Amino acid sequence: MLTVLKNNASAMNFYMGRLKYAVDDVSPSACGEEAAHEILSKTLHPASIELKQRIAAAFADGEVPSPELLDAPAAMARVPVPAATAAVAGATATARVGGAGAVAAAVAGAGKA
């Protein structure tokens, strides 16, 4: 999960286009509020969460996870973005106003990365 200024079009395009983040349900625009920022997040597929936990457990046990485990396609799987959130995200990503900076903050949460 991260926060990015809406007037930073290049950051918005990078996070939403390249890294596949979407406007989170708690973002001001998703709640009908006006704000200078958006809250973006990525929701991981449940199989990805389980796979990442298995990889972390192997490292915690002092083992190196197998290449098959590390290369599993589920390691990068995402749950599809709901249509309403995708529409808001697309409209926000195409807004080009010019530059401040993006502020990223890690937020712990079930199913978020």
Q: What integer is the mean pLDDT of 55-79?
A: 76
* Nearest C-alpha neighbor of 109 from the set 40, 31, 35, 43: 43
* Nearest C-alpha neighbor of 39 from the set 26, 55, 57: 26
The domain ranges of the chain are 1-43+81-103, 44-77
Q: What's the rounded Cα separation, in Å, for the pair 22 and 93? A: 10
Tokens of 55: 């990889």
DSSP β-ladder status, 22-23 and 102-103? unpaired
Look over the chain and give the mean of its residue pLDDT values, rounded to a whole number. Answer: 72
Q: What's the rounded Cα separation, in Å, for the pair 29 and 48? A: 28
Distance of CA 5 to the CA centre of its chain: 15
pLDDT tier for residue 100 given thresholds of 50, 70 and 90: very low
pLDDT at 48: 78
Residue 72 has pLDDT above 90, yes or no: no
Q: pTM, whole model, 2 decimals?
A: 0.45
